[in-house]
Amino acid sequence: MTERAYVVDQMISAKTIAARVEALAREIEAAFAGTDKLIVVGLLRGSFVFIADLVRELALPVEVDFLEASSYGNAMESAREVRILKDLRGEIAGRDVLVVEDIVDTGFTLSHVVTLLRNREPRRLETIALLDKPSRREVPIRATWTGFEIPDEFVVGYGIDFAQRNRNLPYIGKVRFT
């Protein structure tokens, strides 16, 4: 398969992302004030940069765990079938849990993960997504907190990839094929 040529146009700057992550951390601290430990569950792989920046901003006791769910592979469209590729290492029963997602698109992945984790009986389960594309939603779910609402564009950067490329961009950019 030949790779299509594309460019990435900046949509959300690194500075804007940093300011929003800081503001989100303050909201999460207020919501989870008094917790003995917040288990922050990052959905791999796209959330790893967001989760790293977010937990550094949180003035709460945190534990970080990861879950890898896949509905895209290397495609630009969701396959609408969510597979768990890596499960949590720790237990979440009776604990405060924050699920960190990079982008809520169709909603299939977040809905599947929330159902899976709620069945493990956490004390509290909330969600945060860096990006939200409500125009693409096929499953009625919204993150508790959202960094940015974006239009129906294919985006990369700040941990989000296209066929495993562009995760290292410090900003969110729109993919434009040439």
Which pLDDT tens digit goes with each residue over 47-71? Answer: 999 999 999 999 999 999 999 987 7
105 is catalytic: yes
- State the architecture of 14-149 in CATH terms: 3-Layer(aba) Sandwich (3.40)
Would you say residue 163 has pLDDT above 90? no
Average pLDDT over residues 70-94: 77
The string of pLDDT tens digits covering residues 118-162 is 999 999 999 999 999 999 999 999 999 999 999 999 999 999 999
> CA-CA distance, 29 to 31, in Å (whole number)?
5
Fill in the DSSP letter of residue 134.
G
The model's pTM is: 0.92
Where do the domains of the chain lie? 14-149
Q: Which of 105, 132, 152, 161 is catalytic?
A: 105
Identify any residues that bridge with 100 across adjacent strands, giving them in sequence order. 42, 128
Q: What distances in angstroms separate CA 155 from CA 37, 52, 101, one per listed residue?
A: 33, 20, 14
